[in-house]
Amino acid sequence: MARPVNSTKAPANIPRPRTPSQQAENLRRSRRDRAAETAQDYVEAIADLSAAQGRARVVDLARRLGVTHVTVNRTLARLQQSGYVSTKPYQAIFLTDAGRKLAAECKQRHETVTAFLRSLGIPERVAEMDAEGIEHHVSPETLAAFERQLGRLG
């Protein structure tokens, strides 16, 4: 018999937090993860712009990331507090040592995920788009498995 459409019972295969505090912790973790994704995207973009153009500016980041100048400035302030960037008004944006290290890790993770997806026959454009999301969430164990598999293929 088919299940009623308006059923309030959750599907059995979707785990639910058992207590309000567990749900709150899950939501806090989700917000932290999104903040980390943003930091990673920004330092990677700053590194790419600096390598390609010799500098990264707010206008360049806004264009590259598809956000407003205000959003870039707010995010840069957080990245500066976290020790990833150095900024001065109306000047280029520079990565700190910690920012350069994070950018290199992000680039390597992105390249590994993209190469793995490509090894599965995924078209380059699709692999690049998918890697943008996967690279932030892939565990070190899964990333190592991707690398091992790519080593076997090469």
pLDDT in tens, the chain (154 residues): 555 555 555 556 666 667 888 888 878 877 777 778 999 999 999 999 999 999 999 999 999 999 999 999 999 999 999 999 998 878 899 999 999 999 999 999 999 999 999 999 999 999 999 999 899 888 899 999 999 999 987 6
C-beta of residue 95 within 8 angstroms of C-beta of residue 103: yes
pTM of this prediction? 0.76
Amino acid 49 reads: L
**Nearest partner of 46 among 32, 29, 65, judged by Cα:** 65
pLDDT recorded at residue 94:
95
Q: How far apart are CA 46 and CA 101, in angstroms?
A: 12
pLDDT recorded at residue 10:
54
